[in-house]
Homo-oligomer: A and B are copies of this chain.
Amino acid sequence: VAPAACHIMRCLDVVDACRATLMVGFNRRFDPNFAALKARMAAGAIGSLEILSISSRDPSPPPLSYVRRSGGLFRDMMIHDLDMARFMLGEDIASVTAMGGSIVDPKIGAAGDLDTAVVIMQSNSGKVVQINNSRRASYGYDQRVEAHGSKGMIRADNQHETTLEIATETGYSRDKILDFFLERYAAAYERELDAFVGAVTAGRKPSPDGHDGLKASLLADAADESWRTGKRIEL
């Protein structure tokens, strides 16, 4: 168990001992489109889930000073996608394999991190997951989820800045997608705060809780270890 997870476990013990209310900020669970995707799957829209694909690309890399203390791409960026996988699967992950490198900026590699990564995982019941991350996307904050199941496929696409389409002698064009998390997840943050306040007010345990945070963190550790060792990590 990596140091970060150790710290988290100790924190969770304190939270339990104090009967404190803890909600972890996995904001994407509250995105109306991703939440609707999960609800449609639960309603049977694609039968039984078989392949989950998550694309998650930032518009541009963070400053190197952040990279050095962030814990690395798996822990500061992909952790949201790892939580998304657990959220969509409704079950835990059994094994993780990662590949990647510092393609965007070699200085990120020199700082011991990577900026481009792909991960494949398998859940306890055998469903497969693929995730790709990049620290650079010229066209905006690329956040997509696609689920393939026994009866079909469902996907949540990005949101463009406008609904405009322009056709000229060079072809058809649409605007970029929303630029970064404050714009893209504005509705998610609002719903997330509502959920937290609602839980506190009602005396309910909020979700996602600290154990969801811990599990995502352990997945990030596993992906990081797989990337560094070239081995498949079993959880």
Given contacts A164-B36, A169-B139, A172-B173, contact A128 B122 (CB under 8 A): no
Q: Is the interface of A mostly helix, strand, loop or mixed?
A: strand
Are A153 and B130 also in contact (CB < 8 A) when A99-B121, A120-B119 are?
A: no
> Which residue of the partner chain, among B99, B152, B158, B231, contacts A166 with CB atoms under 8 Å?
B152
Pairwise interchain contact B171-A173, C-beta atoms closer than 8 A: yes
Q: How many copies does the complex hold?
A: 4
Indicate if the CB atoms of A128 and B139 lie closer than 8 Å.
Answer: no
CA distance A139 to B150 in the complex (A): 11
Which residues of A, 120-172, contact B by the 8 Å Cβ criterion?
120-122, 126-130, 132, 134, 136-140, 142, 148, 150-160, 162-172
Establish whether residues B152 and A168, one from each chain, have CB atoms under 8 Å apart when the complex forms.
yes
A122–B130 CA distance with the chains assembled, in angstroms: 15
The reply to whether A101 and B120 contact each other, CB–CB distance below 8 Å, is no
**A232 at the B interface (CB under 8 A):** yes
* Chain B CB within 8 A of A75 CB: no
Instruction: For A119, give the chain B residue with the smallest CB separation.
Output: B120
Residues of A within 8 A of B (CB): 32-33, 36-37, 40, 45-46, 48, 50-51, 53, 55, 57, 95, 97-101, 103-104, 116-122, 126-130, 132, 134, 136-140, 142, 148, 150-160, 162-177, 230-232
